[in-house]
Chain A
Amino acid sequence: MSISFIIISMIILLGAAAAVSFSNLIHCALSLAVAMVGLAMLYLHLGAEFVGFTQVLVYVGAVSIVVLFAILLTRPAPFSPGVHVPWHGRVTGILVAGLVAGMLVGAVLGTPLTSHVGQRVITVKQIGMELMTTYAAPLEIVGLLLTAALMGAVILAAPENGEKKP
């Protein structure tokens, strides 16, 4: 465990914690972007260059932007009654998450795993070859899934015919 790993973990965990705890939704989405950049840094740190850059391209360049657009499109009307969140709901959620965290960390620490040390790299060419041979079928399915998701999202979010503009 090196200094850089600790710094990167701090960025990820603080960004993630901020992403679910700010009251301003825009700040949440931006913290999500920070956490995603941190994860990309972690992947680069671990030697998975391609995944790291893909992470930035997809999550910072696309997902955060889509989330931001959704937040701006669903702003509640001014003077609408604020959402009252019961405090016990919040406390229960955090308690459950804390318990799960404790169990997971305990399980990880209790498992004897040996770390393979030494460099491990994967080139873009290797990834491409694998995608075209071993993983050809998953690749096709992911393509279909993305197309279906794209069309589904457009059909869901597009205003229906004859619907009055708000």
Chain B
Amino acid sequence: MIQPLHACLILSSLLFCIGLAGVLARHNTILMLIGVELMLNAANVNFIAFWRYGAWAGQSAGVMFAIFSIAVAAAEIAVGLALVILIFRHVRTTSIDRVDGMKG
């Protein structure tokens, strides 16, 4: 029987890898941002899991970290999507393959 902490960690690893697969395999910028969000949330799962099942009682660092991480992720997606919209206005596409105009 798997321990609850291990179960949470496996869940977060799988979530991370789904996000990674999304970033690597899809060529749409918005989808890549979604993948990044999933990876960030996998990290959050770890914070909460270690807070809940970790051995250090009476410490709230895990929850605090998750809250700050959510705030930073919100900032990240706002700026990221603004960039996507800006790029779209110039090249009329959101595909990552078409935005290679500065390739050396």
Chain A positions near chain B (C-beta within 8 angstroms): 1, 5, 9, 12-13, 16-17, 19-21, 25, 28-29, 32, 35-36, 39, 42-43, 46-48, 50-51, 54-55, 58-59, 62-63, 66-67, 69-71, 73-74, 76-77, 80, 83, 85, 89-94, 96-98, 100-101, 104-105, 108-109, 113-117, 120, 122, 126-127, 130-131, 134-135, 138, 142, 145-146, 148-150, 152-154, 156-157, 166
Contacts and interface: CB of A to CB of B under 8 A. Distances in A.
B64 A131 contact: yes
Nearest to A84: B97
A149 B79 contact: yes
B29 to A, nearest CB: 8
Interface of A is mostly: helix
Contacts, number: 241
A105 B14 contact: yes
Contacts of B92: 76-77, 80
A154 B85 CA distance: 11
Contact of A20 (B35, B68, B75): B35
A116 B77 contact: no
Q: Which 3 A-B pairs have the closest CB atoms?
A: A20-B22, A93-B24, A93-B25
A70 B81 contact: yes
Nearest to A158: B82
